[in-house]
Each structure stands twice: as structure tokens, then as C-alpha cells.
Chains A and B, each alone.
Chain A
């Protein structure tokens, strides 16, 4: 029964294997996760027929079976997308990565970081390891918190089921560097299957796949590296206040008692990064009276009460809470006051 001797029953020719690549390694890239490693695929063919017009019992082939091997295929992505703004000097700022097992078997991966990978572009700085250099998301709250789990190589290496992912935080300190300098960190995730990481695609490791078959190195060479970056913050904030317009009781623009002045405050945030809890406060000048309900911030009318909107008027002071503002940004605030 030649049809039965299919899987693993032939001696492997290593000399030939060097020259042979599985023809289909390239097209399989699009498969996120396929048939689990260790699955037996079976084929049986049945033939029905007549003899002299009389139907006969059908004939069947012996089953042709083979077992699906494990494809080792990690994918790694940097999640922040744009350089993460950090203070200079600064401590413990996170870059966020996601490691996904795009293979078809359970696979463990070791993690390592390279600070300021060579060649270091002119003007770039080299980030330093944070107090703990890599964290694994574990507390269920998105983003890095100190309550996530510190990564310890060899102890809690991400061991991922097919299609499972692990969010990884690379934590860095920033030395004193020039504003807007970039600092890169490369994260590398390597399959912990012996002999897999860095091997050429198609490399087969007998008996090391999940289910006892081959572990087959995929196009990512069982090892993925992705670079994320920081940018040293060069934030600048300039606030200007002007009398934008005057309207006197005669309908002209003369500064006289009873004239209404429109004040304009312009907050300009330059550079790169984000300011938090940005609050603009402006005590009213002497001998003026605030025109109730006249505050407009970022084009939106505001109420005077301390409520959900950004502005309030209290203790003869206009204050506008802008919250977190990413640079570059320009915010315009206007309000009116009457000259006593």
C-alpha cells in the first residue's frame, strides 16, 4: 500500500534539504492562524461502479494521513505610531509594543531591547533602561502602570497560543539632551524553540513542533525586531493678551466709561509633546466690569458657572481649563468687560 507511506517515513536527505525550500512558504504569509499544529489531515477516496450493469459495493482507498507541523511566525508591532514625547532628563517612559503569535502552535518568545540601535543617526540620543526595562501588560488596564508585570527573561517569557498577543512596555530613562532629539529602542522577540530564532525561512526542526512534528521557521525567521522612538520634549508655551476691539456707547471705538472691550488671550504651544492641566487665568483689570456669559474658548461659548464646560468666572477672575493639549496648538480665548 504505497499510498499509506506518506509522512516522515522516508529518510531525509540533508544535502538535498539544503537546496529545497518548501515551495509554499511564501504564499502562506497571509494566514494569520491556520490549522493547529498536530492536526491529522486524512483523505479517503471511494469508487463506485457497475459490472455488466449491476451495481457493486464501492471500493475505498486506504486513508492518506499526515500531521500538520508547527509554523513559527511571530509578528511584532510598535503601537505608539509617533515618537513618544518625554521630558529631558526624564525617567520611566513607556514605548508600547504588541507581540502576536501568528503561527499555528503554542510558542514561547524571549524579549530583549537594544537602546539606540546602530547606526545612530546624527542628532539622536541613546535612551537608557528604566528602573525595570521591560514590562508585560497584566493588570487589565490599558497603558503602562507600575502594577503591570516586570519581565524577567527565562521566567515569564510570553508563551502564546496561536493568534494570542501580548502587550509589552519598554521603559526608558532620558538623559539631558537637546530638544526634539530622537531616541530609539529596538525590541526583539525570539522564538525559544531551540535552533529556530534567526534561521532561514523553511528551516525544519524535527520533533520540536507542537504535536511532535516539525517546527518550521516562517518568513519572519522566528525572530522579529521593531524599533520605537522617543522625542525629547521641546515644549514652549506663549500667552498673549490684547484688547481685540472696543465698542463705546456712541457706536465708535473710544475708550470711555461704558465702552465694552473684547479681550483676546492667545495661548500658543510650540515644539513637540503634550502639556497636561493647562489652565489660563486672568484677573479682571481694575475699573472694569465683566460682561456675564461672554467667555468664548476655542470658538465655543462658555458659561460662567463652574460646570462641565472649560471656563468659569469667579472671584473677579476668568479661568479656562484646557486639560491636556498636544503641541503644536493655538488656543484663542475671548471675553468682554465694560469700562466703569
Chain B
């Protein structure tokens, strides 16, 4: 009786223990987390105004949202050739010059992600049917190509700002 109970617990423990690596394998080697924040002006008691980041609580047209993505190597091997893709969220416009990412080459797309390039390489057709350079607010996707390798346990951070249309 006691043995079978112990066996049961042991089996359960092993099952749970076995589950965790399986789940991690499904997630892969990179854990991706995105957060959205806004900047709020906080007026201190001394009347000084400072900008602080706060969770998105209220959003109206014109609100600027800061998206920050962290990517972390959660396995014990080095990971390479990392590309972070982020379509500009629906009903927002990319804010010019806002994309950031240390050790990253930042590319944009203005055609839904078919073609990526630097700002001056992106073309769209204007109202007159002529091709012209895409405006930042016309960008549809952002891609960060991480330069080099991400060692085990290391993480990086990229992000951008978007304005709610």
C-alpha cells in the first residue's frame, strides 16, 4: 500500500518533471515577450514635470504607445541569425525614427512584409500613380536583424513607438 502510493507520487513527479522540458521545447530556444506602455507626464509636488512610463490604461486616437520586445535565449546553446518581426499594429501608425534595437539592423516594409529595406529603399505608389519613397507612417512591418550570436541565457531588447490613428 505504502509502496504503491510512493510509486504513484514518484510517477506523478516524473510526469510533471518530464512535462516542463517538453513545454520548453515547444516554446523553442527563444522566449519572446512584448509589452505596451505609454508615457505620462507626472507633476511632482514641486511642480516639476517628468515623463514616466506606465501601462496602457487609456488610449484615444493620437495616443503614442511604446512597444518593447524582449527576446531571451532560454536554452544552453548559442542561437544565431535572429530576426525579430513586428507588423505595425492595426489602427496605428509607426512613429518616425522611433525604432530602436542594440546590435540590430533595423529594416522596414511598406507592403505588408513582402519586401524589407532601409527607409530610402521603400517605395509606394502615390495618389498620382507615381512611385515615391514611403513615409514612415506608411510602414507596415518592422524587422530587426540581430547582429551576431545570442549566447545561452542572454537577452536583447528592441522596440518602437506607434500612434493610435
**B partners with A:** yes
B138 within 8 A of A: no
B63 near A45 with CB under 8 A, answer: no
* Mask: chain A, 85-114; 1 = CB below 8 Å from B; 0 = not: 000000000000000000010000000000
What are 9 contact pairs spanning A and B, CB under 8 A?
A: A7-B55, A23-B40, A31-B165, A35-B61, A35-B165, A41-B90, A59-B28, A64-B34, A71-B62
Roughly how many angstroms separate A6 CA and B58 CA in the complex, as a whole number? 10
Q: In the complex, are the beta carbons of B33 and A35 less than 8 A apart?
A: no
0 or 1 for each of B79-115: is its CB under 8 Å from A? (1 = yes): 1111111110111100000000000000000000000
Interface residues of B (CB under 8 A from A): 27-36, 38-44, 51, 54-65, 67, 69, 71, 75, 77-87, 89-92, 150, 163-165
Question: Do residues B165 and A24 form an inter-chain contact, with CB atoms below 8 A?
Answer: no
Contact A49 B83 (CB under 8 A): yes
Of the candidates A31, A33, A43, A216, which one forms a contact with B36 in the assembled complex, judged by CB atoms under 8 Å apart? Answer: A43
B4 → chain A closest CB, angstroms: 38
Q: Are B38 and A7 in contact (CB under 8 A)?
A: no
Report A-chain residues with C-beta under 8 Å of the C-beta of B86. Answer: 43-46
**Interface with B: A14-22, A234-242, A306-314, which one?**
A14-22
Docked complex Cα distance between A297 and B117 (Å): 69
Q: Does A122 contact B (CB under 8 A)?
A: no
Inter-chain CA distance A60–B32, complex, in Å, is 6
Known contacts A45-B69, A52-B77, A216-B58, then 17 further A-B pairs from the complex at CB < 8 Å, ordered by chain A residue:
A3-B33, A5-B55, A6-B56, A7-B57, A20-B42, A22-B63, A23-B51, A28-B61, A33-B61, A42-B90, A43-B67, A43-B87, A45-B34, A51-B80, A70-B60, A71-B60, A204-B58
Proximity string of chain A (23-39) to chain B, C-beta cutoff 8 Å, 1 when within and 0 when not: 11101111101110001
A59 engages B27 (CB within 8 Å) = yes
* Closest CB in chain A relative to B74 CB, distance in Å: 10
With contacts defined as CB atoms under 8 Å apart, how many contacts are there between chain A and chain B in the complex? 180
Interface of B is mostly: strand
Contact A34 B165 (CB under 8 A): yes
Known A-B contacts A21-B41, A61-B33; the reply to A47 vs B84 at CB < 8 A is yes
Q: Is A48's beta carbon under 8 Å from chain B?
A: yes
Assess A35 versus B164: contact at CB under 8 Å? Given A7-B56, A45-B84, A66-B59.
yes
Which residues does chain B contribute within 8 Å of A35, judged by CB atoms?
61, 91, 164-165
Report B33 CB to chain A, min CB distance, Å: 5
Complex: chain A residue closest to B159, CB-CB = A45
A207 to chain B, nearest CB (A): 12
Is there an interface contact between A68 and B59, defined as CB atoms closer than 8 Å?
yes
Point out the residue from B32, B36, B39, B91 that lies within 8 Å of A23, measured CB to CB: B39
Nearest residue (CB) in A for B31 is: A59
Complex CA distance for A157 and B139, rounded to whole angstroms: 41
- Residues of A close to B80: CB separation below 8 A: 49-51, 53
User: Chain A: residues with CB nearer than 8 A to chain B?
Assistant: 1-3, 5-10, 12, 16, 19-25, 27-31, 33-35, 39, 41-53, 55-62, 64, 66-71, 104, 204, 213-214, 216, 218
Between A1, A8, A10, A66, the greatest number of chain B beta carbons within 10 A of the residue's beta carbon is seen for A66
CB distance from B148 to the nearest CB of A (A): 12
Q: Is B92 within 8 A of A48, CB to CB?
A: no
Knowing A59-B31, A213-B58 touch, does A23 contact B84 (C-beta < 8 A)?
no
Residues of A within 8 A of B28 (CB): 56-59
Per the bound structure, the CA–CA distance linking A55 and B28 in Å amounts to 11
A43-B89 CB under 8 A given contacts A3-B35, A49-B80, A213-B58: yes
* B59, B71, B87, B163 interface centre (most CB from chain A within 10 Å): B59
Q: Which 8 A-B pairs have the closest CB atoms?
A: A34-B61, A28-B62, A71-B60, A50-B81, A61-B34, A35-B91, A61-B32, A43-B89
Contact yes or no, B33 A34, CB < 8 A: no
* Chain B residues whose C-beta falls within 8 Å of the C-beta of A70 in the assembled complex: 60
A71 to B44 CA separation, bound complex (whole angstroms): 26
From B29, B62, B67, A56 is in contact (CB under 8 Å) with B29
A69: chain B residues at CB < 8 Å are 58-60
Partner of B38, one of A3, A22, A57, A71: A22
